[in-house]
Amino acid sequence: MPGYGDSTSRRVKSDYALEALVEGMRALLSGNSRPAAIWVAHDWGAGVASSLAAHHPDMIQALVLMAIPYRSAELGLEHLVSLVDRSVYPEDECPFGNWDYMAYYEESFEKCMAEQWDPNVETLCKLLYAPTPPGTTSADASKPVYTANVRKNGGLFAGGPAPPPEALPTPLLAGDVFDTFVQAMKKTEF
């Protein structure tokens, strides 16, 4: 994805529109002289890969989507909210369910990036690649996740400062891989 690793990062927001990213994936495939590929995608990448699959199924040999349901970016937040398990996320308490953080980003994107994400790259990378906390059981899957209250809490860090990276557990990514990822993200920012 543009802006990750050693790829270029642009300041023109429309370069990150779903349509532009899908065209970039098509160009990547064409540039490698391949008619189709196995696509593995996570988070925002899953939204883009599912849009590629929906509109260009001939380019898909297989598709693996992690964390984000099929066509969710394309169909929008309202569609995601329609998939929320209301037995876990009652509408009166969690109107956006586990997707509350997406509503927060849509409402406060510039503030979120400037105050929470970009100044705390290492902390956020550690949070995003944190291991499952000790003692977590399958019963925890039926409890609301912290992303369900981001708006109510005033942001990812509950309106306060981000924890220092050294206070967080060792990430799942190996040391050198994680360090390289963090340095690349510091260069391009989120």
pLDDT tens across the length of the chain (190 residues): 777 777 777 778 888 888 999 999 999 999 999 999 999 998 888 999 999 999 999 999 999 999 888 888 788 889 989 999 999 999 999 999 999 998 998 899 888 888 888 899 999 999 988 998 888 998 888 899 888 999 999 888 887 889 999 999 999 988 899 999 899 888 887 7
Could you tell me the sign of the dihedral formed by the alpha carbons of 26, 79, 16, 180, in that order? Answer: negative
Neighbours of 179 (CB within 10 A): 13
Residue 61: helix, strand or coil by DSSP?
A: strand
Q: What is the pTM of this model?
A: 0.79
Residue 38: helix, strand or coil by DSSP?
A: strand
